[in-house]
Amino acid sequence: MIRLIAMGVWAMLITIGSGYAFDHFRRFHESSGMSGASAVLETRKTREINIPKIRNGAIQGYAVAQLSYVVDSAVEKKSGLPSEIFVADETFRLIYDDESIDFNRLEKVDLNALARSLVKNVNARLRAEVVKDIAIQEFTFLPFSESKIAP
């Protein structure tokens, strides 16, 4: 009987001690500024974005882009605006307006500059540092002659 009582007291002391230890380490972790640094970052993916490329008044084809991007979800919640809409819109605007991207005369495109520009433009429109990084998953060109809407 004494053994049973001793084991019960021992289990109770272990439970209380582990609870105090957990609380101590949690408070230490929070006070060191390390809590939640990676918990608020979230990776998302856009749908495919089809961007018409127009030259001399005619559609030459469609640039197709799909992006992955990292957002700070806590900052996004404070802004109240969904980031995907602005990422897709800025991608469309940047590629549509960029005259240096000519698929008839292919040249190397600085994708790092494109990604940096997208991050800067999206964050400016959201008025917060919501988007941390953008990765280009797919970037291709479909000539108008090969599209389904070509005659």
- Coil/strand/helix, residue 130: coil
* Spatial distance between the Cα atoms of 116 and 135, rounded to a whole number of angstroms: 10
Q: Supply the pTM of this predicted model.
A: 0.69
41-146 has which CATH code?
Answer: 3.30.479
Q: What is the pLDDT along the chain (151 residues), one digit of tens a residue?
A: 888 888 888 888 888 878 777 787 777 766 665 545 544 899 999 999 999 988 888 888 888 999 999 999 889 988 888 899 999 999 999 989 888 777 777 677 788 888 999 999 999 999 999 999 999 999 888 887 776 664 5
Place of tokens 């953008």: 134
